[in-house]
Amino acid sequence: MIRYDDKLPTSIIERDSEYKPPRTLRSWLIGRPLSTADAPHQTIGKLVGLAVFASDALSSTAYATQEILGVIAFAGTMAYGYLFPISMAIVTLLAIVTISYEQTIHAYPGGGGAYIVARDNLGELPAQTAGAALLTDYILTVSVSVSSGVAQIVSAYPAMFPYRVWIAVAAVIFIMLINLRGVKESGTAFAIPTYFFVIVMTFTVGMGLIRYFTGNLGMVINPPHFEASGVISTITPFILLHAFANGTTALTGVEAISNGITAFKEPRSRNAGITLIWMSLILGSLFLGLSFITGHIHAVFSEQETVISQLARTIYGGRGIPYLMLISGTTVILIMAANTAFADFPRLGALHAGDGFLPRQLTYRGSRLVYSRGIITLAIIASLLIIIFQASVTRLIPLYAIGVFLSFTLSQAGMARRWWKIGHLKEGEEIVEPGSTLRYEKGWKYRMVINGFGALCTAVVMVVFAVTKFAEGAWVVLILTPILVMIFFSIHHHYKGVASKLSLDNFRAVPPHNLRHRVIMLVSGVHQGTLAALRYSRRLSDDITAVHVSIEPAESEKVRRKWETWGEGVRMVVLNSPYRLLLEPLLEYITDLAKQRQPGETMTIVVPEFVSNNRITATLHMNTADYLRSQLKRYPGIVIIDVPYHVHA
Amino acid sequence: MIRYDDKLPTSIIERDSEYKPPRTLRSWLIGRPLSTADAPHQTIGKLVGLAVFASDALSSTAYATQEILGVIAFAGTMAYGYLFPISMAIVTLLAIVTISYEQTIHAYPGGGGAYIVARDNLGELPAQTAGAALLTDYILTVSVSVSSGVAQIVSAYPAMFPYRVWIAVAAVIFIMLINLRGVKESGTAFAIPTYFFVIVMTFTVGMGLIRYFTGNLGMVINPPHFEASGVISTITPFILLHAFANGTTALTGVEAISNGITAFKEPRSRNAGITLIWMSLILGSLFLGLSFITGHIHAVFSEQETVISQLARTIYGGRGIPYLMLISGTTVILIMAANTAFADFPRLGALHAGDGFLPRQLTYRGSRLVYSRGIITLAIIASLLIIIFQASVTRLIPLYAIGVFLSFTLSQAGMARRWWKIGHLKEGEEIVEPGSTLRYEKGWKYRMVINGFGALCTAVVMVVFAVTKFAEGAWVVLILTPILVMIFFSIHHHYKGVASKLSLDNFRAVPPHNLRHRVIMLVSGVHQGTLAALRYSRRLSDDITAVHVSIEPAESEKVRRKWETWGEGVRMVVLNSPYRLLLEPLLEYITDLAKQRQPGETMTIVVPEFVSNNRITATLHMNTADYLRSQLKRYPGIVIIDVPYHVHA
């Protein structure tokens, strides 16, 4: 026996939409739409994953050594002695950060960026701060790396200089389109140049080391002129710190994989973790090798020729084909570094939006299963930055990297806190957090120290970075980040407010039914369309008022006469409008009626609307209905009914 | 006793709207709004009327003589012998046209432009042709006269040359704003410079004649170089006709008053007629005087210096203050000639629109009782022409004047036909036409000859104009006018079609009431706003289907669960959208239902809409309702109900 109470009284029918999106210009540009069921097939393996997420990190080998040299170069040949030790320190930091993040990837298989780790372990404010810092940094990654790639092209072909901004913007749009196609296809598109760069760079460094150890490497021939502004002075600890901070730009991009775990094939964490370690090994060894060789060939810091270029022509003994391969590979990977940001920014944006700190629209996955709106937003802001800063790397770079280190610090502090919580769990006890599940683990102390030490190191680097680069532009980021965090919180406040006001949680079961229903019907002329609306209105209520705004007396006279014949006895109010305005007298009248409304009275405005099936002839009609509706909507408790009448003429 | 049948069952209540438009930037720019009751006070007397309607005609004295000279100049000093006779012929034509139009003004006291005269006497096609020709010509009047005025400024200050297009556009906008204030105020604003020009020009011509007859006028000192392209040859009749045609540009603008009769104070016809005669007298005598003096001082046709300038410095013996007054007065009146077009174009446009040959919107009088939309349309098209032709008078002028002569011809042919009709009426008989009333008059034969001869003369001039200027650009007008006429007729066809389809004339009294009412309610989430819409839907019908498009399965699950609790047993259809599209599956579903509809079934779509009272926070919500509605409107027989819910957050 089925008791009535057991059955839900509501029938819910499911129906699969058979709508297939047609092939359009859009689908040609970004590929055919993907069904949600295709999502698992859109994940990537380790090889492609390395290409997608590592181009940002690896591309920094193209400038990190040069950045260190820039700070200590004024000390003359003495500087070369410091270059390798500083690089060693940076690689050590890289190792710490890598181990830290490897732990994070396993703890957060659903994606463990700084945002999630900070949110689950430190609270909303640190999480939003980490997110704001990262989002800013992703935008800057796009602007900086595309600008710097274009700068390489422009160095090679000075005639392109006046078009650099537009080349850069075109590159951003191109990367945007590839990313709108989806992460899998962008992975394939990007794998080839990434691996080309890695192979050519490894070969170059290897050749350099072989030539050095066989004793026939020599010095840079015809080095570019070094424009030292100051006199040669001694190197202070502060200068060493500054140089160290500059070199840490090599670490930007290391966090990318931890944000993008869900893009990997199962087992996600394992695949992502291995990819991270590969990436760090490649990055660390290339960077160390480059710094070692740079120190021994006495490459010069210069705006005219990059250190990479000096190094390549020393190793290959001139500007031959291997030289050109390295330079072009470097150019391409610099532009492609932007791709990493395109892979991560929309995911992070969707996370924020899902938690209600950014507009909800960012959670929407487009026809190709990527967060299209985030991708487009990133492209627009990055392009604007490129246009504003005229694609100048020098002016963009001081804004860069602080955000990354801020998020490193927060992420690792969060992880340290997480280990501490784990250490205080009883055996068998579990805490389920949104991003991960906490279970007791034996080595928690040891792991907490790793993450804690990582947090400390990156915090120090961040402070050094902020202090040494403050005047150059870092202040912009230090002001912008808190502002962004404030905006995030006010968005959150708005969504929370709306949700609580609409919530059914404390809603009384059935509110009293409305007692009266008043219908106001707008009449501009009396014809078949009007009568259709009248017929509809009469079904709604017996209390109908037709309202006509009289602009031209002759026209109104016609309306009156026809209404007397066709109005079915419904009362009509003619509003004389001395200033020939349509909307204002109407709104005034409705406001008036709304004020006199009894409690529980519903008011409905019926708007007959002429709908033309032809866009050209539609312009021949007044089409005031849309404007009217947008104004009437503002009045609370008024329902607007659109009775369209179609004329095929 | 009042019989029930005697009383109309419909109560019509009249109510004066008390809405007073607030003072805004707009009211500061174009003046406080005027009530329809103010209309009679917005008429003008003869003095102001002359200023408003004559600036176009009078300004042509600034270039008509020069235009004749341009054709015959290659004949050397021989040319000067022809200048005065040609001018005499043109003044004779002016007299014929004036007398013709004077008759029209009295016959059509409600405004007797070529359009109305042709419509009432020749039929729709000639009327639309005349209207198209005139509307085109008014636009060209604005472009040509403003460009030519700006050319004077630019000749004086060559540094302004790069900005000429924008100065011209700014002038058009300025004139537009003055005209949006209304004809009375624009009259006052324009009276001063018009009379300044008339006085200075009359004084100059008078001085010139006195100096000539006292024998101390002499020749132009340092005349500009004449660049003759051909050799000196004899003057053929064709050349004389070409010169004559060029000189007839002096007649452009004569028709203005007949179009604008309603702007005059009562007695309208009398006032307008007298103003027309004044205008022609001033125009004719100034033009003749200028031609006479030009012939005797041997002024030279040149692009460097205008004939007016040569004449003025010969009469005043140099570039003193009187010279500068004449040149600046000429500049101002050239720019102001545009004002005449601004007074007439909107009126003519409203006439066309009222007859259903142009978009109805043009019949709407704005807050200042002028046809604001016509004024703005004219300003936009004229500005576009100025921008396209780079404010070059030389390139614009061949397009000009054909339209005027075409409308002259049609208008006078129409008048001749009218006299013929009057001549065949019996005494006491009357024919009432939309624009005038026909009664027998004695002198109809004589008057018919005047109008007929006028029509013949202007037709000849038009043909000469079209032939001699065909290659220079007149062909554009010869192609454009028929195209415009076709557009006018297709607009008319559309309006007639709509009116007949909506007409109640053959409409059966009460159509059968709809038997079923099906309500489809869209649900994106279940909250208080949804329940308000549900409550409303339940009052409409018992046949309700809630439709939810499932994009993210997790979200849909929430909606289902909540609907089971709050859905009041209403069935719900969940549409699974595999491509994460909202609109397309919904439209597909509704189309499906609409197809299965029984005869007489009404379908209503209820769209709950989130309305934010804050523009910034509104961007945080999807706001798909508007787009949805614009798509749903296309389906015939579907009513759309908007149930807004307001959240103040």
Model confidence at A312: pLDDT above 70: yes
Q: Which of A566, A622, A641 sits opposite B641 (nearest CB)?
A: A641
Contact B257, B353 (CB under 8 A): no
Q: What percent of chain B shows pLDDT beyond 70?
A: 88
Q: Which of B502, B551, B562 sits opposite A647 (nearest CB)?
A: B502
Q: Calculate mean pLDDT across residues B619-648.
A: 78
**Nearest residue on chain B to A546, judged by CA atoms?**
B12
Q: Which of A513, A539, A578 sits opposite B37 (nearest CB)?
A: A578
Contact A528 B504 (CB under 8 A): yes
User: What does the pLDDT read at residue B94?
Assistant: 93
Q: pLDDT tens-digit profile of B120-131?
A: 889 889 999 999
Complex ipTM: 0.70
Residues of B in contact with A617 (CB under 8 A): 494
Residues of B in contact with A16 (CB under 8 A): 575-576, 578
User: What does the pLDDT read at residue A205?
Assistant: 93
Confidence label for B87 from pLDDT (cuts 50, 70 and 90): very high
Strand pairing report for A437-439 and A516-522: unpaired
Model confidence at B224: pLDDT above 80: no
Residues of A in contact with B503 (CB under 8 A): 527-528
The more confident residue out of B266 and A203 is A203
Q: Calculate mean pLDDT across residues A1-17.
A: 56
**Nearest residue on chain A to B632, judged by CA atoms?**
A644
Confidence label for A4 from pLDDT (cuts 50, 70 and 90): very low
Contact B536 A577 (CB under 8 A): no
**Nearest residue on chain A to B609, judged by CA atoms?**
A633
User: What does the pLDDT read at residue B5?
Assistant: 43
Model confidence at B398: pLDDT above 70: yes
Residues of A in contact with B519 (CB under 8 A): none
Confidence label for B471 from pLDDT (cuts 50, 70 and 90): confident
Q: Counting Cβ atoms within 10 Å, is residue A586 exposed (0-12), middle (13-18) or buried (19+)?
A: buried
Residues of B in contact with A570 (CB under 8 A): 10
Confidence label for B183 from pLDDT (cuts 50, 70 and 90): low
Contact A18 B576 (CB under 8 A): no
Model confidence at B9: pLDDT above 60: no
Model confidence at B576: pLDDT above 50: yes
Q: Calculate mean pLDDT across residues A168-172.
A: 92
Tell me the sheet residues that pair with A432: A437
User: What does the pLDDT read at residue B324?
Assistant: 86
Model confidence at A298: pLDDT above 60: yes
The more confident residue out of B122 and B231 is B122
**Nearest residue on chain B to A492, judged by CA atoms?**
B620
The distance of A327 to chain B (nearest Cα, Å) reads: 43
Q: What is the mean pLDDT of chain A?
A: 82
Report H helices in B527-635: 528-540, 553-566, 583-595, 615-618, 625-632
Q: What span, in angstroms and rounded, lies between the C-alpha atoms of A565 and B504?
A: 10
Confidence label for B161 from pLDDT (cuts 50, 70 and 90): confident
The distance of A308 to chain B (nearest Cα, Å) reads: 47
Contact A639 B634 (CB under 8 A): no
Q: What is the mean pLDDT of chain B?
A: 82
Residues of B in contact with A528 (CB under 8 A): 501-504, 507
Confidence label for A3 from pLDDT (cuts 50, 70 and 90): very low
Report H helices in A63-180: 64-72, 78-107, 114-121, 124-156, 164-180
User: What does the pLDDT read at residue A28?
Assistant: 65
Q: What percent of chain B shows pLDDT beyond 90?
A: 17
Contact A13 B574 (CB under 8 A): yes
The more confident residue out of A102 and A188 is A102
Confidence label for B31 from pLDDT (cuts 50, 70 and 90): low
Residues of A in contact with B37 (CB under 8 A): 578
Q: Calculate mean pLDDT across residues A507-517.
A: 62
Q: What percent of chain A shows pLDDT beyond 70?
A: 88
Q: Calculate mean pLDDT across residues A462-487.
A: 85
User: What does the pLDDT read at residue B257?
Assistant: 85
Q: Which of B361, B502, B540 sits opposite A527 (nearest CB)?
A: B502
User: What does the pLDDT read at residue A30?
Assistant: 60
Contacts with A591 (C-beta within 8 Å, 6 or more apart), sequence order: A635
Q: Which of B536, B576, B646 sits opposite A15 (nearest CB)?
A: B576
Residues of B in contact with A568 (CB under 8 A): 510
Determine the distance from the C-alpha atom of residue B504 to the mean position of all C-alpha atoms in its chain, rounded to a whole number: 33
Give the sign of the dihedral formed by CA A116, CA A118, CA A122, CA A128.
negative
Task: Using alpha carbons, list the distances in angstroms from residue A408 to A101, A288, A414, B174, B438.
Answer: 9, 22, 10, 60, 94
Q: Calculate mean pLDDT across residues A585-599.
A: 82
User: What does the pLDDT read at residue B382?
Assistant: 92
User: What does the pLDDT read at residue A413?
Assistant: 93
User: What does the pLDDT read at residue B3?
Assistant: 39
Contact A17 B529 (CB under 8 A): no
Q: Specify which of A29-43, A348-362, B504-518 reaches the highest per-range mean pLDDT.
A: A348-362
The more confident residue out of B314 and B189 is B314
Count of CB pairs separated by less than 8 Å, A with B:
267
Q: What span, in angstroms and rounded, lies between the C-alpha atoms of A573 and A516?
A: 20
B30-66 as b/e, with b when 16 or more CB fall inside 10 Å? bbebbebeeeeebbbebebbbbbbbbbbbbbbbbbbb
Contact B44, B183 (CB under 8 A): yes
User: What does the pLDDT read at residue A241?
Assistant: 82
Contact A580 B642 (CB under 8 A): no
pTM of the model: 0.68
Q: Which of A497, A504, A572 sits opposite B12 (nearest CB)?
A: A572
Q: Calculate mean pLDDT across residues B622-646.
A: 80
**Nearest residue on chain B to A625, judged by CA atoms?**
B630
The distance of B187 to chain A (nearest Cα, Å) reads: 22
User: What does the pLDDT read at residue B238?
Assistant: 79
3-state secondary structure of A610: strand
Residues of A in contact with B10 (CB under 8 A): 563-564, 567, 569-572
Q: Calculate mean pLDDT across residues B601-611.
A: 86
Q: pLDDT tens-digit profile of B336-362?
A: 888 878 878 888 888 888 888 988 888
The distance of B543 to chain A (nearest Cα, Å) reads: 13
Residues of B in contact with A585 (CB under 8 A): 17, 19
Q: What span, in angstroms and rounded, lies between the C-alpha atoms of A325 and A318?
A: 13
Strand pairing report for B601-612 and B638-647: parallel
Q: Calculate mean pLDDT across residues A135-156.
A: 83
User: What does the pLDDT read at residue A6?
Assistant: 41
- What six digits make up the tokens of A462? 């961040």
**Nearest residue on chain B to A583, judged by CA atoms?**
B19
Contact B494 A649 (CB under 8 A): yes
Residues of B in contact with A578 (CB under 8 A): 16-17, 35-37
Radius of gyration of chain A (CA): 33
Confidence label for B201 from pLDDT (cuts 50, 70 and 90): very high
A388-402, A594-608, B260-274: which has the minimum mean pLDDT? A388-402
Q: Calculate mean pLDDT across residues A117-143.
A: 90
Model confidence at B617: pLDDT above 80: no
The distance of A376 to chain B (nearest Cα, Å) reads: 17
Q: Which of A573, A634, A649 sits opposite B15 (nearest CB)?
A: A573
Confidence label for B288 from pLDDT (cuts 50, 70 and 90): very high
Contacts with B231 (C-beta within 8 Å, 6 or more apart), sequence order: B74
Q: Specify which of A76-85, A216-225, B274-283, B533-542 reaches the highest per-range mean pLDDT.
A: B274-283
- What six digits make up the tokens of B416? 């001749």
Residues of A in contact with B567 (CB under 8 A): 10
Q: Does an H or E element contain B521, and which?
A: strand B516-522
Give the sign of the dihedral formed by CA A60, CA A61, CA A67, CA A72.
positive
Model confidence at B513: pLDDT above 60: no
